[in-house]
Structure 1
Amino acid sequence: MRSSGPIIRSLFAVELRPPMLASVVVACYKHEAYIEECLETVYEQTFPDVELIVVDDHSPDKSFEIARRIVRKKSFARRFVSCTLVRNPLNLGAHCTWNRALSLAKGGMIFFLNSDDMFSKDRIRIFASQHGNEKLFFGFSAVEPIDEAGGRITTHQYPTILRYAIDRARITGSPLSWAFLDSQIAASTGNFVLSRELVRKVGLLSDLKYCHDWEYALRAVTMVEPRYVESDRYMYRLHSTNSYRNLSHVAENETKACMSSYCVHAIARRPVNRACLSPINFGEAFYKFIKLHPNFNYWMKQLYAPYQPDHRTVDWNEWTMPLAWR
């Protein structure tokens, strides 16, 4: 009779497999009207093993006090594997706040969340069930715009624009990483989901006021192809104090910084993600592919092409210094 020992041991090993821990990191700043609703959507997640980390960037309003009242509730704290709330000693900016939150996270998957936005109840469960075993993972979902009262906005063109960029990549057969070269198609830092290992490899968010999320995504896609959940699992709040409205005047300079960063990670060296747009990956075909991305094509001309030794047509001066590859 054939022994059932290996089968029993295999089943037993599966039962003993430790559950995956999901970390939700919340960057909070001056959102006293929204922080409670934001945290409630984390509390209501259908995925069981969650740690919550909230870092307040020295908000001048009552955001920190409201968050502290909520996390001190016994019923709230018991829901989480761990619950951490800290406050920056002074206002350090969004990138520092995210980086501090990431340094505290212990989960295998890390979910970013802005303090004025919300999760759908099944957001963590969907990502964990579909992608929880992937060592390197970068994902995001479709977004649903909401108003200041939390009501759904059906007339705004923002989600349509994002979906168009993603659909265009599918129609043309382009990798989704290429779509990030034109814009931040995930809409916000809060829509990012990364594996712990990818966070370790990508590193910290850069000191950019407006485009820190886009620059971070561009670094991530040089490591792994992004994955997209088509259903609306992130509620993105549009209100008068949105950072994209208040900081749009710095967008051009920071877009240049984003493209410079991508050149360093995907063009000046061999990228880990062999599908991302790079001359090392595609050779001469690279220069044809970039024509499909007008924004990237423009910035490539500004940042990369002028420094090709065989094609330089001007003398070196303060405006034509070579890129300082890191």
Structure 2
Amino acid sequence: MLASVVVASYKHEAYIEECLETVYRQTFPDVELIIVDDHSPDRSFEIAQRLVKKKSFAKRFVSCSLLRNPLNLGAHYTWNRALSLAKGDMLFFLNSDDVFSKDRIRIFSSQYDNEKLFFGFSAVEPIDERGKRITTHQFPTSLRYAIDRARITGSPLSWTFLDSQIAASTGNFVLSRELLRRIGLLSDLKYCHDWEFALRAVTVVEPRYVESDRYMYRLHSTNSYRSLSNVAENETRACMSSYCVNAIARRPINRACLSPINFGEAFYKFLKLHPNFNYWVKQLYAPYQPDHRTVDWNEWTMPLAWR
């Protein structure tokens, strides 16, 4: 099996070398590395270029590519350009300021390489600007709590994605090539492109979770979530609209994801477990839902009864 690691790089000159070194040190042998720099104004591209030109570095990979966008085009375009070049059976995302554990690819490939449709992620360990573990930050605890809550209640993990992006980062995504072919590339969103992508993925296949910390997420002053949080509300609406189209307005491939077609009358009770989803469905789906006819069943869908 060939594993492709795609790296979207932008303005991370302090972290890009460490990031790429963790791909170099992977215990899995057959790895393809694709780096696309989004026209960084700092030395990110030059540092990556120097590393890639080292014979010992490039020789480790089945293939190693470094490209630069002609101008700054945004994260979604950069990810999509890298993905379009990937030839691997399993695709690993990686942010240019983050870090892989040395056995990340081996763990995912050994467990899931036979699954034609696959979408997964691991537990996240936050690190600081020096790469030291952060033990006081709440966000990994909140993500684990959301996942544990799903297990306790017996809810599919796909439901938890309706409340938030529980993988924490685009760089934590792992998926099969066939799933990418089914759901398409990332959408043109500045802040929530990863969440919208995940919501499309879970309508096709139930996500898998590796409990151990195999992705190190770096917290620093220039994290994109800090600078783009002002656009989150509008983009959240776009995410939920996308889910409505893929899971509610038509029959989803994943028969476990939350959908009236999958669960019938019980769907309206399940909504109460997900207040955010309840709110967005009420706004996005209710206005046209009573007049919607499903193509697959050729039956009138049941109007939403909000009490």
Indicate the TM-score class for this superposition, using the shorter chain for normalisation. over 0.9
Write the deviation string for residues 265-289 of structure 1: whole angstroms up to 9, x where unpaired: 0011110000000001011111110
Partner of 2:129 in structure 1? 148
For the aligned residue pairs, the C-alpha RMSD in angstroms reads 0.7
Q: 1:182 corresponds to which residue?
A: 163
C-alpha displacement at 1:307, in angstroms?
A: 2.5
Percent of residue pairs identical? 88
Q: How does 1:192-211 map to 2 (within 5 A)?
A: 192-211=173-192
The structure 1 residue matched to 2:8, chosen from 27, 40, 45, is 27
The one of 88, 93, 105 aligned to 2:74: 93
- d(CA) in 2 for partners of 1:197 and 1:304? 29
1:57 to 32, 38, 42: 38
Say whether residues 1:76 and 2:76 are aligned partners: no
| Alpha-carbon distance in structure 2 between the residues aligned to 1:194 and 1:234 | 15
Cα deviation, residue 293, structure 1: 0.3
Q: List per-residue Cα deviations over 1:202-239 (Å, max 9, x = no partner).
A: 10100000000000000000000000000000000000
Partner of 1:295: 276
Larger radius of gyration: 1
**Equivalenced residues, count:** 291
- Name the amino acid aligned to 2:101: S
Secondary structure of 1:306's counterpart equals: coil
State TM-score, norm by structure 1: 0.89
Q: Deviations over 1:75-99 (max 9, x none)?
A: 0001000000000001000000000
Q: 1:308 Cα shift?
A: 3.4
Q: Does 1:232 align with 2:213?
A: yes
1:120 paired to 2:94: no
Q: Tell me the CA shift for residue 142 of structure 1.
A: 0.1
User: Unaligned 5+ residue runs, structure 2?
Assistant: 292-307
Letter in 2 for 1:82: S
| Aligned counterparts of 1:305 and 1:290: Cα–Cα separation in 2 | 13
Instruction: Quote how far apart the aligned CAs of 1:306 are.
Output: 2.7
Structure 1 segments (4+ residues) deviating >6 Å = none
The amino acid that maps onto 1:69 is: R
Residue 307 of structure 1 corresponds to which residue in structure 2? 288
Give, in whole Å, the separation in 1 of the partners of 2:67 and 2:290: 51
Normalised TM-score (structure 2): 0.94
For 2:267, give the aligned amino acid: F
Alignment partners' CA distance in 1, 2:134 and 2:128: 6
5+ residue gaps, structure 1, are 1-19, 311-326
